[in-house]
Structure 1
């Protein structure tokens, strides 16, 4: 933890004299005192003019903060305003999101304010609300049985790597978020599921892991289906249209091929 706070304090000192900077906030593990020796740093750097999306200017700030080994922008996660950085001395993963004060209003969490010139960031937090995106249940239900069928096809053909990827995708996109929702957490996919969900739930999720073999993949896929049915029953509202015909046909095929 000390290396994280030391790094952050150095960044705050550098930015405090920068007239273009409105403030600096930290999200992720910094919120609620969840930092540990394995944490990275999620910075939100708020500036008076648009910098996010301009890689050269983003890199200019990142290079000032320490011994920058490597950095790249976050288009792969749909966020070109994000710069993902690896620093040395000490070795740290640091994400820096560059936003304006107006853009700071639209956020998924309320970060910890590390630098707030004129209490402008606090003013935004006081008048706006954070919204963490929740999965669309109908979107999941419309796709789930197609994903199960696809996994069966890949397993039946012997494309086990593809099948294992499919299991991982359903674990990450469906089971993890729904488990978090059932426990009253933000649906952060599989993030900290071991810490924030019950032991028996984690055990059930472990059973969706498989080795590189046909029988193991079929068993894991049955557990994926079983968990989804349980979570769907507890989490979904009556407005979700269940794809019963798809479910019945896919599960009949499952019985036939396995």
Structure 2
């Protein structure tokens, strides 16, 4: 169920966009689709505009977002590879984070989910959503296998050099790109990083928790080992998956050797 403050904001946005003849629809995505919205949710909105006004809309998209509320901060989404995205933080009794994606109707044909139609001028959007199918990107087991052991080797090298913040960053990347998506997929959810694992995959939380280190040599080493064990459990057995067995053996042995050397040096000191 959508909270009242979200409903009020969406209604304000909708009424303003209706007055703009260039805009042909407003759609909702993210947790609005699944019904999982709560008081901490962002609003994911898609503003659909007529192709004739593409350049105009792209130039004015920040100003349009600013006109929809009291903006504290606003930026475009180039840092996540989405120049069509405008990210806003609005002021209010509770600050509101809203992501707007500005799209032409044809751009809805390739999408990762079926958005909720909040308002539409005509029926073009509805027709596109009915005639095309969303495709959410799932983890490619071979892509993961080809990279995992390189990441482990890199983590071991950083561990040996004492760059523990780098090790922590590598472990975070492994959780977000590998372990989280595989856990969510295993539990029947979309493989969206580590989003809502605490709710959707309760049994795996303890396993994943072991991959989160403190700023300490031994803790970072144990977190790398836990990541290896968890990946081995989650790794799919498939005739099409080529295990990089030699890379696995070398990377794991290197990790153990680096830690043993670092640990003995620490003991000598």
TM-score under structure 2 normalisation? 0.91
Q: 2:131 and 2:230 mapped to 1: Cα distance?
A: 40
Alignment of 1:66-145 (within 5 A): 66-90=69-93, 91-145=95-149
Q: What stretches of structure 1 move > 4 A for 4+ residues in a row?
A: 52-55
1:33–1:53 CA distance, 2 compared to 1 (3 A): farther
TM-score under structure 1 normalisation? 0.94
Q: 1:151 and 1:44 mapped to 2: Cα distance?
A: 39
Equivalent of 1:30 in 24, 32, 37:
32
2:152 pairs with 1:152: no
Q: 2:56 and 2:144 mapped to 1: Cα distance?
A: 31
The gaps in structure 1 that reach 5 residues or longer are none
The answer for the alignment partner of 1:57 in structure 2 is 60
Q: 2:79 and 2:54 mapped to 1: Cα distance?
A: 19
Cα shift readout 1:97-127 (whole Å, capped 9, x = no counterpart):
0000111111111111111111322111111
The gaps in structure 2 that reach 5 residues or longer are 260-269
Q: 1:25 and 1:241 mapped to 2: Cα distance?
A: 41
Aligned-pair CA distance for 1:138:
1.2
Aligned-pair CA distance for 1:53:
9.6
| Aligned pairs, number | 255
Name the SS of the counterpart of 2:211 in structure 1. coil
Name the SS of the counterpart of 1:65 in structure 2. coil
Q: 2:180 and 2:187 mapped to 1: Cα distance?
A: 11
Q: 1:113 and 1:71 mapped to 2: Cα distance?
A: 25
Q: Which stretch of structure 1 is more off in the superposition, 89-98 or 49-58?
A: 49-58
